[in-house]
Amino acid sequence: MAVPKDYDLIRRDGRDIARIAARGRAVLANPLINFGTAFTAEQRRDLGLSGLLPDAIISADAQMRRVYKQYAREPTDLAKYIYLTSMQDRNEILFYRLLTENIEEMLPIVYTPTIGKAIQEYSHWFHKPRGLYLNIDNPDGIAIALAASGKGPEEVDLVVVTDSEGILGIGDQGVGGVAIAVGKLSVYVAAAGIHPNRVLPVVLDTGTDNLDLLNDPAYLGVRHSRVRGEAYDSFIDRFVTEITAAFPNAMIHWEDFAAANAHRILNRYRDEVCSFNDDIQGTAAVVVAAVLSGIRANHSSLAEQRIVIHGAGSAGIGIANLLVDLMVAEGMDPEKAKSRFWGLSSRGLCLRGGQLRDFQEPYARDPAELTDWVLDIPGRHELADVVRNVHPTILIGASAQPGAFTEQVIKEMAAHCEWPVIMPLSNPTSRAEATPVDLLEWTRGRALIATGSPFTPVQHDDQMHTIAQANNALIFPGIGLGVVTCKAEQISDSMLAAAARAVADAVTDRRRGASLLPAMHQLRAISARVAVAVAQQANKEGLARRPLDNPIQQVYDAMWRPDYPEIEVVSPEELDAGGASS
């Protein structure tokens, strides 16, 4: 049974309008229509708010100054996160205006790395539920929960769903993983203007293998070990069936699934429904953007590269797959393209006949080609051995092994490559394979660097180096916006490649020491550029369900802006009758 509404948010003749049938405290309790002290005297009278707010009428600009000061006074990053979360629950438009105007400063608070701490404490600071909690022990409850969301078939553009098993390098976090879905959607809204009323965070509570959680009396999830195998797959299938029936035009964003499931789920559904895995595809696209920028800076081509990926898991192989697609698009034979990659797992170099996951097999090397290699330990092919024998031009770290890029490894690479592209991508900073300071020291300032975590600029000799952060936020908001703009049926590899090129093309400063990627304060403009490229590619491939006549204008028009809308005070009967929208 659908939940009755007491408000509606529409767009009419290019104007955002809130049609409100709620009155009194019901208005103040709804964060999407609670403008707090910004309500005018007339609005307060008509909405039954007289006496429920202080008399002063404060502009949105003055509200912004006040809440920023309050935010800045919070003593820790986690305290800042909790403050912003409370604001989002109180006045969502003001929250998004604050986040949008301070995106570079606040992104590490509402997203990685701070959100990881919040997720670990979720059951202890829980105060207001956001999104849907779907329990594997009650699959019939999926349809009931979707109806309880109060949203109709055309009212959801984007669903972010997690099963919380592979959260941000901290692993299985059970039901607390819902916070990563909420945080991810906050970035979609702030960076790309996806409307906050048209998104849905979901956690698939399939249990947890985290014994600390299972033994915590405050834990809020189902209290048993993770369900796996056929029962898990059946639950995922039931979810996809129900969510696509309820919201047929929504993009499904899979978030922080463990490596064993991430590739499998993406491959199972990506040709059936519009779905996207940021850990695989988003990471791949932003790293590829940095690679493209790096090879432009050193005046080489993709076909010339020798690429070593230390950490050939879901993210690492996703990067390889997208780079292969680009090489093939430039005319290279697919098998020859794959031969330009050397992937290492926790067992060393991926070898044919060894212990491999399905997605690693296309990149496994034939042991026969290694017979002449010089090895530190006979029979083992570790990172130092690969670098010594391959002479890579690009070294990518997705291993979560701090310090894996040693001085020996980097100096060996730099001895055979004038401008080595080096990417220690593991998060958080404590897990990075190397620091930019060391990389520049060991390469005598020649390294072209992108990292997973933010690093401050580095002075080396007489040159200041701005360190690019390969943050997925440069990619996934724009992909979502492009999909929403053209109502794409699927997200193809070519659409991901278009997104990567759009980010690389946004880098115009090619001076020595310049960042390989755009600055995060440009995020909203970058998201728009990515969206245009993605929508155009979808249209080219026949995947767009909405005509794309003027992509730049259509993307711009699709971007919600966090400004208080006009208010129409209506009766419940008038609300049910609807209002014309454009």
Closest CA to 3 of 149, 136, 142: 149
Phi-psi region of 167 (alpha: psi -120 to 50; beta: other; left: phi over 0): beta
Three-class SS of residue 6? coil
Kind plus residue range of the DSSP H or E element containing 310: strand 307-310
- What does the alpha-carbon distance between residue 540 and residue 532 come to, in Å, rounded to a whole number? 12
Three-class SS of residue 392? coil
Contacting residues for 234 by C-beta, under 8 A, at least 6 apart: 139
Could you tell me the two tokens for 145? 């929960």
Helices 92-101 and 103-110: crossing angle in degrees, nearest 10, is 120
- Edge-to-edge strand order for the sheet containing 15-20? 7-12, 15-20, 566-569
- Sign (positive or negative) of CA dihedral 367, 371, 374, 376: positive
Query: In this structure, are strands 132-135 and 199-205 parallel, antiparallel, or unpaired?
Result: parallel
Catalytic annotation, residues = 111, 184
Kind plus residue range of the DSSP H or E element containing 116: helix 114-120
Break the chain down into helix, strand, coil percent, rounded to 5: 45, 15, 40
R_g of the chain computed on alpha carbons: 25
Could you tell me the two tokens for 78? 């986690």
Neighbours of 37 (CB within 10 A): 17
Degrees (nearest 5) of the Cα angle 314, 259, 305?
10
Tell me which residue has tokens 């809308």: 565
- What does the alpha-carbon distance between residue 315 and residue 313 come to, in Å, rounded to a whole number? 6
Contacting residues for 74 by C-beta, under 8 A, at least 6 apart: 80, 82, 83
Three-class SS of residue 131? coil
- What does the alpha-carbon distance between residue 564 and residue 150 come to, in Å, rounded to a whole number? 22
Closest CA to 437 of 445, 428, 429: 445
- Sign (positive or negative) of CA dihedral 176, 261, 135, 180: positive
Contacting residues for 555 by C-beta, under 8 A, at least 6 apart: 481, 482, 485, 528, 531, 532, 535
Could you tell me the two tokens for 398? 């997705």
| CB 196 within 8 Å of CB 159 | no
